[in-house]
Amino acid sequence: MASEWLTRARPDTICLFDVDGTLSLARQSATPAMLDQLKRLKQECVIGFVGGSDLAKQVEQIGPDALSLFDFCFSENGLTAFRLGTPLPSQSFIAWLGEDKYKRLVRWVLRYVSELDLPKMRGTFVEFRNGMINVSPIGRNASIAERIEFEAYDKEHRIRETMVAKLKEEFAEYGLTYSIGGQISFDVFPAGWDKTYCLRHLSGEGFKTIHFFGDKTFKGGNDYEIYTHPSVTGHAVRSPDDTMAELTTLFGV
């Protein structure tokens, strides 16, 4: 058991949280009530978040104290990771895939997106991150209202699902996973670099119970793998309010 956790009432327990839809509404800020509850929870056990987004977006949502509030911060599924504010070793998507294969992939994506006829298109169709790329048919510059519109349009016209199916066919030999975790995009990363990736950073910490809370726990959702992992006690939530209610039930905080 790492000595840093001995001040917690349950030092062998960690609670991990997805961000969008679990700690906050999609791409919005966590409420003061949620942050207060997390502070109370931190007296009970160790806490961490694990999201698909990059750290900058998570800090925008959780607030400037994100790195000190959470004992573990896992961005891009844990490909970028911090323990008590200190960076942990990471791996990179581009080093894993190689420039040539990456170029073929990104050129295909941009060509495919250029031929879509969507009601609205904005900018940044591919976001290059450390551990993955994020592909958005409408573009990452969409406003909150445009996100909501696209999500509804996508539900009806299955734009992302169709694109992912075609990518799987076209790049079958690449060994990639495609994960639709948010409203306007999907993440692309090496098979196995899903949210379970973060668990390797916890080995040696002495945790007997690893709770995970997420809203996309269904098969195909980006919380599914960690939610169903044999070492994890998974909790499916419907919203940040639901997460808060579950924490009150489980920990009395």
Alpha-carbon distance 111 to 103, whole Å?
12
Label residues 146-170 b or e (16+ Cβ within 10 Å = b).
bbebbbebbeeeebbeebbeebeee
19 touches ligand M1P by CB under 6 A = yes
75 near ligand M1P, rule: CB under 6 A: no
- Could you tell me the two tokens for 168? 């799987």
Q: Which pair of tokens denotes residue 187?
A: 């993440």
Location of structure tokens 């990104």? 106
The catalytic residue among 12, 18, 71, 194 is: 18
For ligand M1P, the nearest residue by Cβ is 182
CB 219 within 8 A of CB 180: no
Marked catalytic residue, from 12, 20, 223, 241 = 20
Q: By CB under 6 A, which span of 49-57, 82-90, 91-99, 225-233 interacts with ligand M1P?
A: 49-57
Q: How many of the chain's residues bind ligand M1P (CB under 6 A)?
A: 16
Residue 184 interacting with ligand M1P (CB under 6 A): yes
Longest pairwise C-alpha distance within the chain: 57
The reply to whether 154 belongs to the active site is: no
For the chain, report the end-to-end CA distance as a whole number of angstroms: 24
Query: Which of 80, 177, 183, 217 is in the footprint of ligand M1P by CB under 6 A?
Result: 183
Site for ligand M1P contains 185 (CB under 6 A)? yes
Show Cβ contacts of residue 196 under 8 Å, excluding neighbours closer than 6 positions: 225, 226, 229
Stretch that binds ligand M1P, among 8-16, 169-177, 181-189, 204-212 (CB under 6 A): 181-189
Q: Does 225 bind ligand M1P (CB under 6 A)?
A: no
Q: Which of 11, 181, 221, 240 binds ligand M1P (CB under 6 A)?
A: 181
Q: Look-up: residue for tokens 């700690």?
A: 23
* 37 in contact with ligand M1P (CB under 6 A): no
Active site residues: 18, 20
Name the residues that contact ligand M1P, by CB under 6 A: 19-20, 26-27, 51-53, 57, 134, 181-185, 187, 222
